[in-house]
Each structure stands twice: as C-alpha cells, then as structure tokens.
C-alpha cells in the first residue's frame, strides 16, 4: 500500500510512524487516532489518483486541512488521511472582479493578507484563522464573527473544484453570480464534511476593504437592550454592523485568569459585555472630518449616547486606536482557549432566533444545576446571528452525565426554534444529536445521496451521518 501511494504522490509525501504525530489527534485533544498513513498530494490530479486508488482497493480516506475542527471530523483510525496542506497556492486574485481563486490548503490568514494587499477583504474570520485552511472552512461551512454582515462560508463561494469518490474531478469553478444550470453541486459539497467529495479549490468572493472601522465595548442592562442597540446601529449605518459579540462576566474573569495582563473592558465590571464593530466603505462615511472623526464613528457614538440617555446602556468604551481595537478583539477571540482551559468540557454550538438567546440562557441556568450541581457554564455568543457557544465544565468524565447535559441543551435550543449545530459541523461528536434530533426523512435523504455518490463508503466514514 505504501509503495503504491508513494508512486502516486512521491515517497517524501507519504508519512508513517512518528512522522504522523501532527495528524494523529484533533485540535481539542479530545480525539486521538492512528491513521494507516498520511498522504500529502500536491495537485488536484494527485488527489484524484489517490482517491481512485482508494476506491479500487476499498481503502477509506479521511481528508484534513488545518485540523482546527471542534467536532471530531478528522478521526482517522485505520484510514489513509489525505492532507491538503501542500495545495496552498492562491491561483489568481482579481480585485476588479472581486474574486480569489485558491487551493484548499491556503491558510485563511494568508488569504486575508493577500486580499488586504489589494484593498479587499475575504470576510470569513475566527480565532483559528492562522492555521485553518480554506478546504476545511468549506467542508464545515464555517461561520465566525462576520456572519452578521457577510454570511457563512457558503455565501462567500462562487465555484468549487472537487474530487468525487470515484476519483473523477468535478470542475465547477464558476465565477458567475447567476448560473441556473441544474443541481447546485457546489452547495451540496459545501458543509458535507468531506463525506461526498474532497474540495481541492474554490472561487471565493472578495469584498471592499472598509476605509474605517468604529469599534466599541458596550454594557447593557440585558440582552433585550443589546438587540435594540444592534437594530438601531443597522438603521443608522445602512446595515454596516460587521460584528456583534456577547461576552458575559464569567468569560471576562476567565480571560483575565489565563491572560494576567488583560484589562477589564470597563472601569466598573459589567455582567453583559458586547463587542460591536461597524465598517464603512463609502467615502462619505470613512473620510475624516474637521473634528478628526469619521462619520461612521459618529454614527456609533451618537447611537450609544442616545441609548445611554434613555437608560438602555450602562457603559461604553470606543476604541481610539488600532491597538485598542485589537485589544477588544483579542478578548473575544480567546474564547476557544477559555473554553478548553478546564477539563472535562462539553462544547455545545447551538443557534436560536436572536430574541431567544436570553430565554435560552435563562432556561439553561435553571436546567444545568439540576443535572450537575457542580457544573459551570462558560458562554460566548455571536449575538448578531443567534449562535451561542454554550460550553459546560462538567464535574466528572461520566459519559452518561455528558449525554444528559447535551440532551438538555438540545431540548432547550429546539424548544426555542433553534438548532443543535450552528457552525462547527457534526463530525463524530454530534452523531448522537443527529440521531435524536434530525428529521428522519431528512436523514434518509442524506443517506441516499451518500450511497449514490459514494456507494463503497470510502470518504470520511462514520462522520455527519448517524
């Protein structure tokens, strides 16, 4: 087997033994596994050759990009792990058409830098941007902090290139915004977690780089007032709110424990801490006036002042420099480090309608002590899109206790019209949730698609589908 793979991609690109260490666990450390080998193809043709070989030899393939997933989607015991890390070229970047054509192994932050060099942005962003790769972002339909304005990964893709389970290459690298020519295979493969095909390249949408940002930390009496602030800012700025992130008091406390140099957001500690950022692209909104202020910053400050006078805002700090802005973002982007600072932990990633975030949290504050009196919740939320990262530090490793807590979170989320999975995907960890909660007819349809495209079940088996 090793000789055959080496003939396809080169001996130096087939890893075994200790050389597989970096590919033998997931990012959280919750899953550890032993692949048969790690294969690192350098082109779409080599990916196709490996997958064709796997189909002919009935060998399972687990694709991996940056391996920053949080749901066990890269477990690869007894499988050949196919790493896209060598396929890391930005093939083309055309600001006039607002597109970037990239390979699956391009690191997200590298694409950010390339877009920035031509005064554009690729707006997908989250804490793991320095190691996450485009292939993984597409495979999980990643979310992040800017979904409020720009949408999920799915909304940022025009075309893709993918290798199907037979080794055939589907080349739908369309740059078109309108193409109504049959089934949308692009959207079928995005979010499929590598179970239907291996995405090797994509045509991505770029957006104009904001000429000015206005960023602030805001404290409100409740989340209801926070949503009023969000809506007022959207009206005042013409929908220019890029991020609206909620951090409760406990998040701030743990952040300071693990980062002693971190400062309080406000002089007086607050229970509800909101990071809000508005971005302006129109010259009229980002040109510095005689008072030294940009109109976009004025919109933010005027809205904050009005709400303060109405008693709907307790405190606010507006960033006066890029350093202060980055300090605010560091506090938010440390959320994964915070959640994993204590073990055992349960990383729930749920979504509810925006006005149901507060009722969800209130209900869980009552339910959790009933299940585990010693457990503690650690919460952070993309409040602007209703995505709550509800981590639980449970009191023991007991599997039955873990399941009961996860079921309770699902119960409460679904009771408010929500979902048990918002942006992390299903992978391995949420298979029980899929079995319990997903509509049976929907699961049957998904299994029929899987069976039709991958009848031998060689691509990322045991993931996504219960």
Closest to 408 (Cα-Cα) out of 436, 378, 448: 436
Residue 291: predicted pLDDT: 86
* Residue 289 reports pLDDT greater than 90: no
Residue range 157-161: average pLDDT? 98
- The 10s digit of each residue's pLDDT in 185-218 is 999 999 999 999 999 999 999 999 999 999 999 9
Q: What are the structural domain ranges in the chain?
A: 2-83, 90-208, 212-335, 342-440
pTM confidence score: 0.94
Query: pLDDT tens for residues 241-254?
Result: 999 999 999 999 99
Once rounded to an integer, what is the mean pLDDT over residues 78-92?
97
Q: What is the pLDDT of residue 32?
A: 92
Per CATH, which fold does 212-335 belong to?
Alpha-Beta Plaits (3.30.70)
At 20, phi and psi to the nearest 5? -90, 5
Instruction: Name the architecture of domain 342-440.
Output: 2-Layer Sandwich (3.30)
CA distance 360 to 311: 25
Q: In the predicted model, what is the mean pLDDT of the chain?
A: 96
pLDDT in tens, 215-251: 999 999 999 999 999 999 999 999 999 999 999 999 9
Q: Quote the CA–CA distance of 72 and 31 in Å, as a whole number.
A: 6
pLDDT-derived band at 30 (thresholds 50, 70, 90) equals: confident
Q: Which residues contact 216 (CB under 8 A, 6 or more apart)?
A: 275, 276, 277, 300, 304, 316, 317, 318, 319, 328
pLDDT at 302: 95
Q: What is the pLDDT of residues 435-449, one digit of tens each?
A: 999 999 999 999 999
Residue 292 has pLDDT above 90, yes or no: no
Is the Cβ–Cβ distance between 315 and 273 less than 8 Å?
Answer: no
Kindly report, residue by residue over 319-374, the tens digit of the pLDDT: 999 999 999 999 999 999 999 999 999 999 999 999 999 999 999 999 999 999 99
- Residue 309 predicted with pLDDT over 90: yes
**Percent of the chain at pLDDT above 70?**
100
Residue 29 has pLDDT above 90, yes or no: no
Same fold, 212-335 and 342-440: yes
- Is the alpha carbon torsion for 37, 38, 43, 48 positive or negative? positive
The pLDDT, as a whole number, for residue 271 is 98
Q: Mind listing the pLDDT tens digit for each residue in 252-283?
A: 999 999 999 999 999 999 999 999 999 999 99
Q: Rounded to whole angstroms, how far apart are CA atoms 364 and 370?
A: 10
What is the C-alpha separation between 48 and 40, in angstroms, rounded? 12
The pLDDT score that the predictor gives to residue 127 is 87
What local confidence, expressed as pLDDT, does residue 28 receive?
Answer: 82
Q: Give the right CATH number for 2-83 from 3.30.420.40, 3.30.43.10, 1.10.10.60, 3.30.260.10.
A: 3.30.43.10
At the topology level, CATH places domain 90-208 in 3.30.465
3-state secondary structure the chain: CHHHHHHHHCHHHEECHHHHHHHCECCCCCCECCCCEEECCCCHHHHHHHHHHHHHHCCCEEEECCCCCCCCCCCCCCCEEEECCCCCCEEEEECCCCEEEEECCCEHHHHHHHHHCCCEECCCCCCCCCCCEHHHHHHHCCCCCCHHHHCCHHHHEEEEEEECCCCCEEEECCCCCCCCCCCCHHHHHCCCCCCCCEEEEEEEECEECCCEEEEEEEECCCHHHHHHHHHHHHHHHCCCEEEEEEEEHHHHHHHHHHCCCCCCCCCCCCCEEEEEEEEECCHHHHCCCCCCCCHHHHHHHHHHHHHHHCCCCCEEEECCCHHHHHHHHHHHHCHHHHHCCCCCEEEEEEECCHHHHHHHHHHHHHHHHHHCCCCEEEEEEECCCCEEEEEEECCCCCHHHHHHHHHHHHHHHHHCCCECECCCCCCCCCHHHHHHHCCHHHHHHHHHHHHHHCCCCCECCCCCCC
- Please report the pLDDT score of residue 26 as a whole number: 87
pLDDT band at 70 (very low <50, low <70, confident <90, very high): confident
């Amino acid at each position: 087997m090793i000789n055959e793979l080496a003939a396809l991609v080169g001996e130096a690109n087939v890893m075994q033994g200790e050389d597989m260490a970096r590919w033998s666990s997931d990012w959280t450390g919750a899953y550890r596994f032993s692949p048969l080998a790690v294969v690192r193809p350098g082109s779409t043709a080599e990916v196709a050759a490996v997958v064709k070989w796997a189909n002919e030899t009935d060998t399972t393939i687990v694709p991996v990009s940056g391996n920053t997933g949080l749901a066990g989607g890269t477990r690869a015991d007894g499988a050949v792990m196919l790493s896209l890390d060598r396929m890391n070229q930005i093939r083309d970047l055309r600001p006039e058409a607002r597109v970037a054509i990239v390979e699956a192994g391009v690191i997200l932050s590298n694409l950010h830098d390339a877009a920035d060099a031509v005064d554009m942005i690729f707006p997908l962003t989250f804490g793991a941007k320095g190691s996450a790769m485009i292939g993984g972002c597409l495979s999980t339909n990643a979310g992040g902090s800017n979904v409020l304005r720009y949408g999920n990964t799915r909304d940022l893709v025009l075309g893709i290139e993918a290798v199907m389970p037979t080794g055939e290459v589907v080349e739908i690298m369309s740059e078109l915004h309108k193409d109504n020519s049959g089934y949308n295979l692009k959207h079928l493969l995005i979010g499929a977690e590598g179970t239907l095909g291996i995405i090797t390249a994509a045509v991505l949408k770029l957006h104009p780089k904001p000429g000015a940002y206005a960023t602030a930390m805001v404290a409100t009496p409740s989340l209801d007032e926070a949503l009023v602030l969000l809506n007022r800012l959207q009206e005042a700025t013409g929908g220019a709110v890029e991020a609206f992130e909620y951090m409760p008091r406990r998040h701030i406390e743990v952040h300071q424990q693990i980062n002693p140099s971190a400062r309080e957001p406000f002089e007086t500690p607050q229970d509800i801490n909101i990071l809000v950022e508005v971005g302006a692209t129109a010259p009229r909104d980002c040109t510095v006036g005689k008072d030294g202020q940009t109109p976009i910053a004025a919109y933010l400050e005027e809205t904050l002042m009005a709400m303060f006078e109405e008693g709907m805002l307790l405190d606010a700090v507006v960033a006066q420099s890029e350093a202060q802005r980055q300090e605010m973002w560091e506090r938010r982007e440390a959320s994964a480090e915070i959640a994993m600072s204590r073990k055992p932990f349960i990383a729930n990633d749920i979504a509810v309608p925006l006005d149901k975030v507060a009722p969800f949290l209130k209900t869980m504050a009552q339910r959790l002590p009933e299940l585990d009196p010693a457990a503690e919740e650690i919460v952070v939320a993309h409040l602007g899109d209703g995505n709550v990262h509800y981590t639980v530090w449970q009191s023991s490793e007991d599997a039955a206790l873990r399941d009961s807590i996860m079921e309770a979170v699902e119960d409460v989320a679904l009771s408010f019209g929500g979902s048990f999975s918002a942006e992390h995907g299903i992978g391995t960890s949420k298979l029980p949730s899929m079995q319990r909660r997903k509509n049976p007819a929907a699961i049957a349809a998904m299994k029929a698609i899987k069976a039709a495209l991958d009848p031998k079940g060689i691509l990322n088996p045991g993931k996504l589908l219960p």
